[in-house]
Every structure is written in structure tokens, then in C-alpha cells.
Structure 1
Amino acid sequence: MRHDEVVTTLPTSAENPPGTPTRRGRPRKGASTLTRAAIVGATISLIDEEGVEGVSMRTVARRLGVDAKSLYNYVDGKDSLLDAVAEHILAGLPLPEPTGSLDVDLRAIGRTFRASTLAHPRAGALVLTRQLSSTAGLHPIDRVLSILRAAGCQPAEAVHLLRTLLASIIGTLLREVTAGPTFGAVVSEAEAGRRHDLESSGMPALVEAAPYLAHFNHDEEFEYALDFIVTAVTRKAAEGKRTDQTAHPG
């Protein structure tokens, strides 16, 4: 789900996507209980253990104890399988009920999105960046747009604010699940070594900021980014509402 392409024309169903191939291959004994949900669950389990790079039709089939060809009755191939994983995680996001406060609701969604991502961190990049082929994973997008519209944003402005919000949250989460920060470390030993290197760099700005650059805490960084972007979005939404009321009084 790339944040710059969240409004697209999509097929209507994740469970039975158009163009699903005709059945091929003979499943192994016992494969009659195979379902799309079981395949997605096995894939998520595999990703949790080995990462996305460990996923193939054969590795998933091996985990389920079936012939790899039998998976094609439910997914078109690896790309379709990875789409299904991203859609499953996004569609299952336990979104909090709106409170009527734009600030409160956006913060709650951001924190819920992070918790869901960290529940399967090795699938994080997949969920955060994949452009989905169905509407199944767009429920969070619809919720944010609905909240922005309820706050008085016009559709075009709501989309701009949505994409800006996603860019910040996704960027912060990608850094958390895929790599360490550009500067800083999580463990104290590495933090001390990094601080020493920065203080010895001879670059004045780095030396001055060394204690802060050397320290990194994912919770603090996420909350700072979330506060910054939600404050900006909330302010922009309020400005847009005032402008619209001025242009269309009464």
C-alpha cells in the first residue's frame, strides 16, 4: 500500500479475485481441508520466522503438508500470496471507534497501526509498502478519510492530508522494522561507542548533538513523529475549514 497511491481502481474481492486460475495440480492426501485462510496463516508464520525472503509457493506448501500446485487453487502465485498477507493484516487492524476529535482519533489510529505492524515486524515492510490489488486492505484508509471529512475537510484536501500523514507514519515505522536509525543505537554499549565516534568527528554540529544522536528509543521517536504530524494535519484541517466557511458563508 504505497502512501502516494492509496486511491486506486481495484477489483471487488480479496477472497475470490478476478482471474483466479482454473484448478490445476493434484493435492496431496489430506489437502481437501486446505483454505485460503490456512495458506495466509502459514505464510505469516513463515514470514515471522524467516522473513519475506523465505516465502515461496514451495516453502508455504511444505509447511502445510501439501503439493505446491494445490496452492494455485487459491492464489495466483507468490505476488498474489504476499498481497493476501498484507490485506489480511490491514483488514484485521482493530481500529478504535471515532471520538469526534480529529487529534485524538488520528493519534489512536497511528498507535494502532504501529502495534499491528510490530505484531509481525518481519512482514512490516510488506504491509507498509505493497500496492494492493483489492479493496480488502483499504479499511484503515477509509476510516482516516472519514475522520478528516467529519472534521470539515473537502475530499481533495482530505486526500492530501491522508498521504502526508501516511508518509510520516510509514517512514517512521519502516525505519523501526527494517533497520536501525541513521545515527544512534538501541543497546547501551553501541550507544557509548557511537557517541565517542561522533564526539571525535571534528564536526562541530555533530559534536554538539552527539549525546542525542547516539541515543535512540523507538517509542520516543514514534511518539515524536506522531505528535508532529498529527499537530500539523489538525492545524491544516482547521485552516481549510475556516477558508471554506469564509468562501461559503452560511
Structure 2
Amino acid sequence: MTETRRGRPRTPLLSRESIVDATLRVIDAEGIAAVGMRSVARVLGVDAKSLYNHVDGKDGLLDAVAEQLLAGLVLPPRTGDARHDLRAIAGSFRARALQHPQAAPLVLTRQLSSLEGLAPVNEVLAVLLAAGAEAEEAVHLLRMLLATLIGTLLREVEAAPTFGSDDGDRRGTLAASGLPAVAEVAPHLARFDRQAEFDYTVELAITAVLDRIDLRGAR
């Protein structure tokens, strides 16, 4: 005869890690807007109030997810070649962001003061300083590079590319727009290769940064 267990059902063990994993499941399935203490608690099968022992409300959930994603960022070893190193950091950042496209805006836009948030910043600054940038200039260049990287990745994961759909009808519409410049570039404007656009944008930004450092050093 099977013994019947009595008493209240066991509450699943909670940890910051299990809560972050549950939050990611909500984001992957429904997007960031669906995240809340109740939605995450439903995934875990617990009362929403129990989450407050580990995170401080919705903002705490979102910060925890961003920190975990950044903590999983594999930063490449520096080679001493500034162009190669900056390109490799950008590529690693993109690869990590695209592992959870719905959550990517958290990694790209959330202001974090943790070590996880500062690690990629430290790597970029180290490359810029080693390339000859002075401290203040390195900060300006860092911010420009981050703005460029964040912008191109947000476009990739969140927004439709400008006119780019690789659609024959779209090309025809652009060609017949009556706008001379648009019509001239219609075949290219209607096509959008995410990897190619990322590579082009990053390469252009890195070139601008290194040219700026060289220009300053020549004075």
C-alpha cells in the first residue's frame, strides 16, 4: 500500500539563479514587457512574494538577467592589434546578445554598476589606452563605440531595417518612388544582410577611432 504524504505541498527551492532562469523563459516566450513578479512566480510555481527574498521587484529581475547575460560574455584575449581586438570584442558582444534576442535590449541598454557590466568596458578601455589614447580621449571613444554597437544591435534584434527586406516588390516600390537618390540605390536599399551590416558598421567605427588616436598622437 502506497503511503499518502500529508501536509502542505513542498515549495520549490528558490535561488537567484532559478529566478533569473525563469525570467529568461518569460522573456524568450513573451518579451521583456511580460516580465513581472507574478509572471516569473507562475513559471516557478511559487507565490510572487517569495521572490522578494532574492530580487528587488521587477527592476531587480531585469538587472539580474542583464548581469547574468553579461557574465556569460566570453571576452577574447588581447593580441595587441587594436583593430583586431576591438573587432573581436564587438563580435563577442553580438554573439552573446543574440543568444536571447528578446532579452538583448537589457544587455544593450540597462545601466549596471556591477563587475559584469564593467568587464567589457574595461576591455575596450584597455585596448584604447594601449593604442595610445589618453585617458579622457579613451572615454569619449569608448562611448562612441558603445553607442554605435548598441545602435546597430538594437536595429538587428528590435527594429525592422531601414527599407531592407530583400523583397522584390520592395525593390520595385523604391525604384518607382520618384525620389532620384532612393531609386538609384533601390536594389541595395531593399536588401539587408544582418552580418554584413554589423561588420560594416563596426569596421567603420573602429577606423574612425584609430584614425582619431593617430591624429591626436601626430600633434
Q: TM-score, normalised by structure 2?
A: 0.92
In 2: Cα distance, 1:40 partner to 1:127 partner: 14
Q: Please give the residue correspondences for 1:28-177 in structure 2 after superposition, counting only pairs within 5 Å.
A: 29-31=10-12, 33-177=13-157
- Aligned residue pairs total 211
Q: What is the distance in 2 between the residues matched to 1:138 and 1:170?
A: 15
Q: CA deviation at 1:133?
A: 4.6
Instruction: Name the aligned partner's letter for residue 186 of structure 2.
Output: A
Note the alpha carbon deviations across 1:33-70, whole angstroms, 9 max, x for none. Answer: 21101111111122111111121111111111111111
Match of 1:21 in 2: none
Instruction: Verify the 8 A CA contact 1:57 1:71 in the aligned structure 2.
Output: yes
Residues 91-124 of structure 1: CA distance to partner in whole angstroms, max 9, x if unpaired? 2210001001110000000111111111110011
Q: Paired residue for 2:183?
A: 207
Per the alignment, residue 10 of structure 1 pairs with: none
Unaligned runs of 5+ in 2: 1-8
Instruction: List per-residue Cα deviations over 1:198-221 (Å, max 9, x = no partner).
Output: 111111111111111111110110
Note the residue ranges of structure 1 that are not aligned, 5 or more in a row.
1-27, 244-250
Runs (4 or more) in structure 1 with deviation over 4 Å come to none
For the residue of structure 2 that corresponds to 1:99, the secondary structure is coil
Q: CA RMSD in A?
A: 1.4
TM-score computed with the length of structure 1 as normaliser: 0.81
**Greater relative contact order (Cα 8 A, min sep 6): structure 1 or 2?**
1
Match of 1:223 in 2: 199
